[in-house]
Structure 1
Amino acid sequence: MGRVIWAIHHTSRDWQSILTKVSVPGPWKQVWRNTSDMNLMGISLELLLRYKGCIVAKRLVMMDDVICSTWSWVRNPRSVREVEELRGLLQLCKDVVLVDGDNSVRSVSVVSSDFSVASLKEKIEMARISSPVYKMRWNNWVPGKVSLLAWRAELDRLPVLTLLARRNVGVGSLDCPACGELVETTEHIFVSCGLAQLVWQAISIWCNVPQEFASSVRDLLELYKFTKFPKRKAKAFHAVCMVTLWCLWKVRNDMVFGGLKISARSVVDEVKALSFLWVKNRSSGLCLV
């Protein structure tokens, strides 16, 4: 960060929009602090104040239940930059509420203490402790890339069309490439899409488990907990669920980038082949028949 500040002040470019004093040496001394004083305004407007460094409350007064400003200029703002900065300042002060006592900058989440990095860090740590985070169970009977995809899918961090459009990425139509009925979301790809439902139905029959209702990717990753399998077979079924997620995502990419039309039967065949290959070679002595 110090290098960035130093680069700003040791260049011939115009940095008037940044609150700085180029005449002061050093990377940090010339940074003007945005606290409760009048440095909230721009540099051009700051130079016009008769009394510099005053607090906001000194320039805002209540008259007939209306907040009025008394700036005490050396001269009235008249340049384009000065007028623009004054408009911006008045916009900032529009919703100001005057209270008795000293004005100071305080953190919204930290009560009765000035803002500091340490206090903010403490609040973040407390929030992490108070709100339990779901911890997905990883499975070493499938490649790491498969577990990673399942983890990202559960967190809704896959580059589906709706999330890409939210980031202003030009993706064209947001409709699901498999069914074309609804917009593509993470849950739609893996749970509610017609292709996904046919695949999960076939996988349930193949693994001899009752088809459970799932409303999210997390529900799919937790299906193994509701089976009556022994521990090792439950782990194998968990691996099959992860492989199914992998194959559905792979098929989705083939449809989006390759324009292919793939049937549910071909997806199920690939799930069976990859599940048998990976679990057979990564488990020790597990009978898959």
Structure 2
Amino acid sequence: MTKKSSTWFKIHQIYRALRCRVGTGEKTFFWLDSWATDRPLKEEFPLIFGLAKNKMNKVSHNYKKNQNGVFWDWQWCRLPNNDSEKNEWIALKDLLVNQPVGRNEDVWRWKENNVLGFSVKDVRKDLSGIIDVNMVPTDYEWSKIATSKVNLFVLRAVEERIPTMVSLRKRGVQLGSDLCKVCGIEPETADHIGIHCPAAKEVWLQIWLWIKIPLRDHREKITTRLSEKAEWPKKKMKIIYAIHLATVWQLWKNRNNKIYNNKFTDPFKIVEEIKEETYDWVRTRAKLSEITWSDWKNFIFME
């Protein structure tokens, strides 16, 4: 995938098209938002941005008003002390001399639309040239039982956006063979790590036996395995879904352990780690503290 066709590049284009007409400055980041110029001040003045003590300051935090006008309050880790830094500081002060602040609320606008402010019609018209505004988003179900870290990882895996060998090669990173580092049999994709690898197959077999659901096709994709729930018991569906996410996550961790530590984790140990992690989730995040470890290991609860 080329840079200009990537999702993140398109999102960056959208962000760069937003401008803020600053009023009081209470809703606008001084360094990170586009307000004094057509791009963020951190990009206009990178040297002194590096000296800023609080890079997340709002505009309102960086100025004070008195009877003589606006006084910009600089908060540096140290003062600019070389010619390049001093020149950037002078240029920034010159830029802000006539910048109107302290009146009304901040108003976000699309590109150079100073009169109408933020117009949904204008945004949609321009976005249609960047992305398909009618595109259906990824059909991923967020689990309230699994942690955010695991949810985000599996979402990225479903979209093949995790750094597998195949993915890295497509980005131009040369790492030798793109075969799976766990089995060495097939190219390493997210679906291979999460389902197709022989180690993954063994883990899934043990998981299915534990949670008492029918076996599935080992050649399917992660998204299929997560979405087809017709044969799952309804009372435990959300818990089983979270277990599926944890399984994909633990298989990725096993892959990393092999690559970075040259250690292979026995599939039965991976299953035990999945049981322990998800037991903690259901007791703390699903608030099912009455489930005992014995019942969890045998998956006999909510019958």
Matched AA of 2:262: G
Q: Does 1:143 align with 2:144?
A: no
Counterpart among 249, 259, 267 of residue 264 in structure 1: 267
Structure 1 position 210, deviation (Å): 0.4
| Equivalence for 2:201 | 197
Report the CA distance between 1:147 and its aligned residue. Answer: 0.7
Q: Deviations over 1:142-183 (max 9, x none)?
A: 211011111111111100011112222232221111110111
Q: Which residue of 2 aligns with 1:222?
A: 227
- The Cα shift of 1:234 comes to 0.5
Deviation of 1:117 (Å): 9.3
Cα gap change, 1:123 to 1:276, in 2 (>3 Å)? same
1:236-255 matched pairs, under 5 angstroms = 236-255=239-258
Please, which runs of 5 or more residues in structure 1 have no aligned partner? 8-115
**Residue of structure 2 equivalent to 1:273:** 276
| Structure 1 residue 226: Cα displacement | 1.8
Aligned partner of 2:173 in structure 1 is 169
Matches within 5 A, 1:66-105: none
Give the CA deviation at 1:194: 0.7
Deviation at 1:133, TM superposition (A): 2.7
TM-score by length of 2: 0.52
Q: Deviations over 1:66-125 (max 9, x none)?
A: xxxxxxxxxxxxxxxxxxxxxxxxxxxxxxxxxxxxxxxxxxxxxxxxxx9975533556
1:27-51 Cα shifts (integer Å, max 9, x gaps): xxxxxxxxxxxxxxxxxxxxxxxxx
The aligned counterpart of 2:23 is none
1:211 counterpart letter in structure 2: L
CA distance in 1, matches of 2:269, 2:158: 25
Distance in 2 (alpha carbons) for counterparts of 1:277 and 1:2: 48
* Cα distance change of structure 1 residues 228 and 200 upon mapping to structure 2, 3 Å threshold: closer
Residue correspondence of structure 1 range 52-71 to structure 2 within 5 A: none
What is the CA-CA distance between 1:280 and the residue it aligns to?
A: 2.0
Q: Which residue is equivalent to 1:122?
A: 128
Identity, % of aligned positions: 28
Pair member with larger Rg = 1
Q: Distance in 2 between matches of 1:138 and 1:118?
A: 27
Q: Residue 124 of structure 2 contacts residue 133 of structure 2 at CA under 8 Å; is this kept in 1?
A: no
Residues 3 and 123 of structure 1, relative CA distance in 2, 3 Å threshold: closer
**Partner-residue secondary structure (3-state), 2:128:** helix
Aligned in 2, Cα 1:152/1:259: closer, same or farther, shift over 3 Å? same
Which residue of structure 2 aligns with residue 19 of structure 1? Answer: none
- Say if 2:141 is the partner of 1:134: no
The yes-or-no answer on 1:154 pairing with 2:158 is yes
Q: Let me know the Cα RMSD of the aligned residues.
A: 2.5
CA distance in 2, matches of 1:247, 1:197: 13
Q: What is the alpha-carbon distance in structure 1 between the residues aligned to residue 38 and residue 155 of structure 2? A: 37
* Aligned partners of 1:227 and 1:234 also within 8 Å: no
TM-score, structure 1 as length reference: 0.55
1:153–1:186 CA contact under 8 A, matched in 2 = yes
Contact 2:179 2:185 in 1 (8 A): yes
State how far apart, in whole Å, the 1-side matches of 2:237 and 2:39 are: 54
Rounded to whole Å, the distance in 2 between the matches of 1:247 and 1:212 is: 19
**Structure 1: how far apart are the matches of 2:39 and 2:215?**
59
The answer (yes or no) to whether the contact 1:239–1:279 under 8 Å persists in 2 is no
